[in-house]
Structure 1
Amino acid sequence: MVKFNYFGHAAFLLDDGTHRVLVDPFLTGNPATAVSANEVDCGYILLTHAHGDHLGDAPSIAARTGAAIVAIPEVIDVCQAQATGELKVFPMNLGGSLTLPFGKVRMTVAHHSAGVPGGVACGFVIYIGGKVIYYAGDTALFSDMQLIGRKDAIDYAVLPIGDNYTMGLEDAAQAAQWLNTRHVIPVHYDTWPIIAQEVHRYKEVTEAMTRATVCIVAPGETLEL
């Protein structure tokens, strides 16, 4: 069993009972969360890009907990520059896979700016606790999502739906169809007025056009996958 702990915006923690994987830990300054960075414990941190609302507290959490950061080299450099002392890191790049004690991660393409010169944004396919979880990161809709769905039998797709900076409702529904995922967890919406969305409308549209069940998880809630 894997637990999905949602911290609001695009920050979440995957917990298989032994390993804890933190993703895009924007906590300090996140109006959608009541969790402090000092309260979070993890063994691994996955970062999709270097924008502040995704990189967030990664350097300080990694320094405090000894967690290893998994990201592209340019994003790792940003974390190293912000941390006191050396961090444990696993640099990757698009298309690469990495085997870790909890399972495996594969770095996928995302169509978005990176927040650091020379870098690229990414997503992750995460194998943990017998589940396959695709986190798109911040991205536009792109047709190669169909290839991701063919390569990996996705149990849960964590997709941004906020529009303006990422996919909106309609494109995120199309993404769910192309990925052929069994479930969708929408994220990256309602944090600020500019990305306010009707999440129940997204659930209605997506479930009408795909095989997926949309799981709406409020910040602070935990979903058993």
Structure 2
Amino acid sequence: MTLEVLPFAGPLAGQLASRPETGLSLYWLGQAGFLLDSGRHRLLIDPYLSDSLAQKYRDRGPSHERMMPVPIDIDEMPPLDFILCTHHHTDHLDAATLGPLARRFAQLRLVVPRASLELAQDRTGLDPERFIGMDAGETLILDDAIEVQAVRAAHEDLQRDGQGHHLFLGYGLGVNGIRVFHSGDTIPYAGQVEEVRALAADLALLPVNGRSPALAAAGIAGNFTLDEAVELASSCGISAVLAHHYGLFAFNTLAPETIDARVAAMTGPTRLLRAGKGIEYRLAGPSEMTV
């Protein structure tokens, strides 16, 4: 796999009008959100394109005002085929984002943890047939072109519902000969390296905002530290890491300068990048995947 970092000027909506003929284009939407375009399909992972949390916590708890603006208005989003949500927290499964998008695009399907199926339906008001449930250890083929493998995530624990379904997931995606791993929100857990290594990912999308006793005391679960994210990718033989889940909420972030310093100090075969606005990440693989 080759990975090009292509900054662009102007709004994201304009950039999305140009689609890749081969490989995969990837754009950061802020927090843990990404848009992936294979040329044939567009999918989102964990999009948070509203201010619903700022409204929810207006008079209580830490401020959830956005540090970065919404990168694209929902009514400017081009047609979408699938949205994948890793877990039920609102910055990953946001009714104010998912509902309007699903109502705009009748073909759009949403993949969510099976443990969150009922909640997702209630939260968005969408019909059950719009959703696909997954659990860790399962593999799904979307439209005969996109392979999705679900793995466990620990945010900060490996939690299950009453039926034994995992609350927090990561997704390994295979499309156009390229494999991308989105960990969801997670910290290290026993067996994680083996599970992630089996995905044979070319690129890992990993949170780096870390965790702290103060946040835990406030009921706010944490994530990988930057060093832990790099260590996981290195241990799994993943050639590139895109660090994200920073820069949205002031109470739970990591300074961009800290990530940039780590990028500059990196040695070895794993490449570290900081997810950024106004950048297209273009991935090229050996061939289109056959499933």
TM-score by length of structure 1 reads 0.89
Q: Please, which of 87, 93, 107 is the counterpart of residue 55 of structure 1?
A: 93
Q: How many Å apart are 1:85 and its aligned residue?
A: 4.3
Q: How many Å apart are 1:51 and its aligned residue?
A: 0.6
User: Retained in 1: the 8 A contact 2:67–2:250?
Assistant: no
User: Retained in 1: the 8 A contact 2:46–2:93?
Assistant: yes
Q: Please, which of 44, 48, 57 is the counterpart of residue 82 of structure 2?
A: 44
* Equivalent residue number for residue 189 of structure 1: 246
Q: How many Å apart are 1:115 and its aligned residue?
A: 10
User: Retained in 2: the 8 A contact 1:14–1:22?
Assistant: yes
Structure 1 segments of 4 or more deviating over 4 A? 113-119
- Per mean C-alpha deviation after superposition, the further-off stretch among 22-31 and 152-161 is 22-31
TM-score by length of structure 2 reads 0.70
User: Retained in 1: the 8 A contact 2:230–2:241?
Assistant: no
What is the RMSD of the two structures over their aligned residues, measured on CA atoms? 2.2
Q: How many Å apart are 1:189 and its aligned residue?
A: 1.2
Q: Does 1:92 align with 2:152?
A: no
Secondary structure, in 3 states, of the residue corresponding to 2:117?
helix
User: Retained in 2: the 8 A contact 1:27–1:36?
Assistant: yes
Distance (whole Å) between structure 1 residues aligned to residue 227 and residue 85 of structure 2: 26
Gaps of 5+ in 1: none
* Equivalent residue number for residue 105 of structure 1: 148
Q: How many Å apart are 1:136 and its aligned residue?
A: 0.5
Q: Does 1:150 align with 2:191?
A: no
Distance (whole Å) between structure 2 residues aligned to residue 217 and residue 150 of structure 1: 22
Q: How many Å apart are 1:131 and its aligned residue?
A: 0.4
Query: Which gives a bigger RCO, structure 1 or 2 (Cα 8 Å, sep 6+)?
Result: 2
- Per mean C-alpha deviation after superposition, the further-off stretch among 159-168 and 60-69 is 60-69
Q: Does 1:79 align with 2:116?
A: no
Distance (whole Å) between structure 1 residues aligned to residue 154 and residue 24 of structure 2: 28
User: Retained in 1: the 8 A contact 2:27–2:280?
Assistant: yes
Q: Which has the larger radius of gyration?
A: 2
* Equivalent residue number for residue 216 of structure 1: 274
User: Retained in 2: the 8 A contact 1:50–1:116?
Assistant: no
Q: How many Å apart are 1:149 and its aligned residue?
A: 4.2
Name the count of aligned residue pairs.
223
